Each structure stands twice: as structure tokens, then as C-alpha cells.
Chains A and B, each alone.
Chain A
Amino acid sequence: MKDPIEVPNNNAFKVLQVQGISKSFGSNQVLRDVSLDLNKGEVLCLLGPSGCGKSTLLRCINWLETPDAGSIRLNSKRFGIHKGGAKMGDSDLARMRAKIGMVFQHFALWPHLSVIGNIVESPIHVQKHNKKEVHKEALALLAKVGLQDKADMYPASLSGGQKQRVGIARALAMKPDILLFDEPTSALDPMLVGEVLEVMRGLADEGATMVVVTHEMEFARQVASRIILMDSGEVVETGHPAQFFSAPQTVKAQQFLTRYHQRG
């Protein structure tokens, strides 16, 4: 038993609680009994080899994939299933999803909307906030990601790094309780990775609650409050970055880090 004072495990502080999630696609089990939770202001980095289930886990968190087993709670409210055990309808799911900001690997901006149109879409049409205020906030968010001059451009004319920064601004505009990043820099030119990571680092410093699926080890080491390593759909190791990178506990974590260091 750990000293109870050391661990602030009061569930009231938990923004996200994932318990025993499993998911299969056909005969291929992608997630096996994955559990994790997240306090307000924490940055959780999910590491692991490609195909280990990180992205699927992220997609289960906002119910874009329906888990086969387990539960997900956002601010203690069960996702996807009502108290009586009935499945949530589309409108209830949508309402819960609007509290989660998601940043996609391939940006997934809406190409028919301008940059600012992408950002105000959900606040205006889902959250029904005041148009003028939303626009003002959207411009401030664009300034924050360094794209204030691109408000009226269309996504097709932006670089990958710019697209992803718009993607982040779009997620922030909903004032979500938690931000999910699904390999936000994997589709980017190496030259453009830095600008996106810099924005994410800024968010972490401001105290945003984030789950980041990434292959950027340096970012994870510096920014994460906690690291989770996954392999074959299971959580292999959980730890503070300082400990994870310098003294990994499990053999799989050691192998993973060795491979990473060899690759340079």
C-alpha cells in the first residue's frame, strides 16, 4: 500500500477516467483492458510502436469508436451509456464530444470553410454561443497560434504546419475540458514539426489538460506530466517522464527506448 497522502486520488479532480477498455476489429484485438486517468492540468503522453492501439484508444475516449468493454468517464459522467444502461443517442454523444477537443493526424479541417469558419463552426452551431463573441475569440486564438493574418484563407492554401495550428485553434475554440492529440505532427514535414510542438508546449504551460499520442520523444520528455507506453493494445508502463526515460521499469519499455535511441 502506498501512503494515501502522497496520491491525490480524489475522483472529483479527475477530468478523464478510462477503465478496462477493450476493443476488437473482427478477430484483431486492438485494445486489452486499458485503464488510465487524468487530473486537471495534466499532460499525458501515449507512446508506443505503430499499431499498438494508441490512436484507437484516443478514438474510444470520445466514442468515435465504441469500446467493446470498459467505461469512460468525463468529469465523472459516463460516456456513451446512460445511468440506466441504455446506449446514448447521437445528440447526447454529440453534447459530450463537444467537451473534448480533438486534433487529428491529417488535420481534418473542413475545406469548404475558411480558417475562421473552421474555428467558429462548433461554438456557433453546436454550442450556440454568440456569433460576435465567438468571432472575437477565434481571432484571439488565431493570434495565439500565430495565424491572425490567415483568417479568411481556405485550408487548401495553407502549409501542413499552418493547417495543424488551425486544427489546434479549432479544438480550443470549444473551450474543451480536455484536448486529444492524435499524432499531431506525424503527417508534417520535419521542418514544420517545431511550430506545432511549440504551440502545444504553450498550451501545456497554461495548464491545459491534454492526452497526446506522439512519436516525439523529446516533447514527451519535456512536457508530459506522465508517460504511458503501450504495446499490442496493452499499457506496458506508466511513469513520470524523468523516470521513464532514464530508468524504465519493464523490459518492453527498455527495448522501446533502445530502438528509439538507435534510430537517433
Chain B
Amino acid sequence: MNLSDFVIVWQQYPAIWAGFVNTVTLLLLAGSASLVLGIVLTPMLMSKRPVIYRSIGFYCECMRCVPFLLLVYLIYFGLPSFGIQLSNWVTGFIALIIYNSAYMAIILRAAWQDIPQETVEAGKAFGLHGNRLLKRIIMPLILMRATPMIGNQMTQILKDSAFLGIIAVSELTAVMNAIQATHFIPFASFLSAVVLYWLICLVIEFFTLIFTRYAEVRRA
């Protein structure tokens, strides 16, 4: 291994850039979709009806116990046998969402169980109920509490996306893998990938910090 290996790697910058953009796109879209779906699933996890909280709880439990790689395989090979044909990118995107929505829901449920009961009760006492109570009081309180954990889950989504190379989604890891296979420079390729992932993580952490500061003022 020497410095010229890195030069060879970075001479492929158009491909690297494309992979980088693809990874960031997957992160942004799957991250926000997972958060939104998590917000929808959490009230179901906290539902009083056993059918609802058991079934959603079962789904979350399954996702928590299935390795992401296997889930990707299951979806990739499973959907066509149900007659559903999707592009590799969309398949990978869906896998990221299915997997991480469950994690988001679990994170938000934990925050829900942690909010002071009196503030929710005050909402009821002041005439809020049902969806409005959820939207105006409970969910904002939960999100303020869960900000750091949500940021952490975003880095998990970023790292999950690195598996999607196995179904030929040309994200950052897949691109670097192609480079190392062509030029026989695995170390320089993969180390470059790690540095780029690290940069994305820094950006996630930066935004998490900003949101956490915003939330700190707004929580009890």
C-alpha cells in the first residue's frame, strides 16, 4: 500500500461522487420517511387495543431481530415471487424504510413512556383529546425528548445503506468495491469510503446538535 493507490482511487472521482450522492440521497429520503412512519406507528404501539399494539409490536420485534442484510435479500428475492417488479434502487430504499421505521417507532415509544404524565393530563384537562392531543402535545414532547436518539438512528441508516451494494445499488460502498476490484487496491479504496462515511456522519452529528439545542430549551 502506498500513496499512489489513493491517487488511483481518487482519479475515479466522477464515479465516487455519483456513489456518494446516491448514498446521501438514500439517507435523506429513507431517514425522513422512516421518521415519519415511526411517528405514525408509535401511537399504534401505545394503543389500548391489543390487536393493534400486538401486531405493530410484533413487526418491530421482527425488524429488531432480523439482520438488515437478510431483510434486503428477502425483499429482493421475495417481491418478484409475488409478481412485484421494482428497480434495485427502489427495493433497497423500501428495505431501509421497513427496517428503520420500526427502530424509529421503538425510539419514540421509549420517549413517550418517559414524558411526565401531568403534561399530557393538562392537555386533557384543557379540552384536547384524540389526534389533536397527540399532534399538539404528545408528539412534540416526544420528539424534543428523542432528538439525540433520532440522530443516532440516522447514522445507523447511513451504515445500513452500505449493504445495498449486494443488490447492485451503486451507492458509495458498491462504487468503492468496484474500484478496488478493478485496480486491486482494496485498502486505499475502502479507507477512502470510510473517510467519506465519516464526513457524512459529522454532518448528521452537526444537525443533531442543532436540533438538540433547539429541543433542550423546549423540554422540561
- Which residues does chain A contribute within 8 Å of B124, judged by CB atoms? 64, 94, 97
Please, how many angstroms separate the alpha-carbon atoms of A97 and B126 in the complex? 6
| Residues on the A chain within 8 Å of B130, using CB | 90-91
Residues of A within 8 A of B141 (CB): 110-112
Inter-subunit contact A170/B220 (CB<8 Å): no
Minimum CB distance partner of B135 in chain A: A125
Bound together, the chains give a CA A95 to CA B128 distance in angstroms of 9
Asked if A35 is at the interface of the complex by the 8 Å CB criterion, the answer is: no
**Among A10-18, A151-159, A210-218, the stretch in contact with B:** A151-159
Within 8 A of A (CB), among B174-220: 217-220
> Chain B contact residues: over half helix, strand or loop, or mixed?
helix
Q: Choose one: A104, A127, A156; the contact of B122 (CB below 8 Å).
A: A104
Asked if A122 and B126 sit within 8 Å, CB to CB, the answer is yes
| B147 CB, min distance to chain A CBs, angstroms | 12
Interchain CB contact under 8 A, A64 and B217:
no
Chain B nearest Cβ from A131, distance in angstroms: 15
Q: CA A155 – CA B219 in complex, angstroms?
A: 8
Task: Using CB atoms, name the residue of chain B closest to A155.
Answer: B220
8 Å CB interface, B83-131 against A: 116, 118-119, 121-130
Within 8 A of B (CB), among A95-127: 95, 97-98, 100, 102, 104, 106, 108-113, 121-122, 125-127
B118 and A110 form a contact (CB under 8 A)? no
User: Do B125 and A95 have beta carbons less than 8 Å apart?
Assistant: no
Q: Which residues of B contact A72 (CB under 8 A)?
A: none
Q: Which residues of A contact B217 (CB under 8 A)?
A: 154, 156-157
Contact of B127 with A122 in the complex, beta carbons under 8 Å: yes
Q: Is the CB of B121 within 8 A of A91?
A: no
Docked Cα-Cα span, A97 to B140, in Å, equals: 22
B129 to chain A, nearest CB (A): 4
Residue in chain B with minimal CB distance to A89 = B129
Among A91, A93, A106, A126, contact of B126 (Cβ-Cβ < 8 Å): A126
Contact A156 B127 (CB under 8 A): no
Are A112 and B140 in contact (CB-based, < 8 A)?
A: yes
CB neighbours of A104 from chain B (8 A):
118, 121-122
Task: Establish whether residues A111 and B121, one from each chain, have CB atoms under 8 Å apart when the complex forms.
Answer: no
Q: For residue B140, which residues in chain A have a CB less than 8 angstroms away from its CB?
A: 112
Interface membership of B137, Cβ < 8 A: yes
A122 touches B128 (CB 8 A): yes
Q: Are B125 and A102 in contact (CB under 8 A)?
A: yes
C-alpha spacing A169/B119, complex, angstroms: 16
B218 to chain A, nearest CB (A): 4
A110 near B125: Cβ-Cβ < 8 Å: no
How long is the Cα–Cα vector from A109 to B123 in the complex, in angstroms? Answer: 9
- Taking a contact as CB atoms under 8 Å apart, the answer to whether A156 and B129 are in contact is no
Contact across chains for B125 and A64 when beta carbons are under 8 A apart? yes
The answer to whether residues A64 and B220 also contact, given A112-B141, A174-B127 and a CB cut-off of 8 A, is: no
Q: How long is the Cα–Cα vector from A91 to B124 in the complex, in angstroms?
A: 10
The one of B116, B121, B136 in contact with A121, judged by C-beta atoms closer than 8 angstroms, is B136
Is B9 in contact with chain A by the CB < 8 A criterion? no
A156 to B220, Cβ gap below 8 A?
yes
Q: Can you list, as one digit per residue, whether each of A159-180 has a CB less than 8 Å from chain B (1) or not (0)?
A: 0000000000010001000000
Known contacts A106-B118, A108-B118, A110-B141; A98/B127 CB under 8 A: yes
Shortest Cβ distance from A106 into B: residue: B118
* B129 and A94 within 8 A (CB): yes
What's the Cα separation between A167 and B219 when bound, in Å?
A: 16
> CA A111 – CA B140 in complex, angstroms?
9
Is B136 a contact of A156 with CB atoms below 8 Å?
A: no
**How far is it, in angstroms, between the C-alpha of A127 and the C-alpha of B128 when the chains are bound?**
10
> CA–CA, A102 to B128, complex, Å?
13
A39: Cβ under 8 A from any B Cβ:
no
Contact B218 A154 (CB under 8 A): yes
Which one of B119, B125, B127 lies within 8 Å of A111 (CB-CB)? B119
Among A106, A125, A174, the residue within 8 A (CB) of B136 is A125
Instruction: Flag if B220 contacts A125 (CB, 8 Å).
Output: no
Which chain A residues have a beta carbon within 8 Å of chain B's beta carbons?
62, 64, 90-91, 93-95, 97-98, 100, 102, 104, 106, 108-113, 121-122, 125-127, 154-157, 170, 174
Chain B residues near A (Cβ < 8 Å): 116, 118-119, 121-130, 132, 136-137, 140-141, 144, 217-220
Top 10 A-B pairs ranked by shortest CB distance? A98-B127, A108-B122, A126-B127, A122-B126, A108-B118, A94-B129, A111-B220, A90-B129, A112-B140, A112-B218
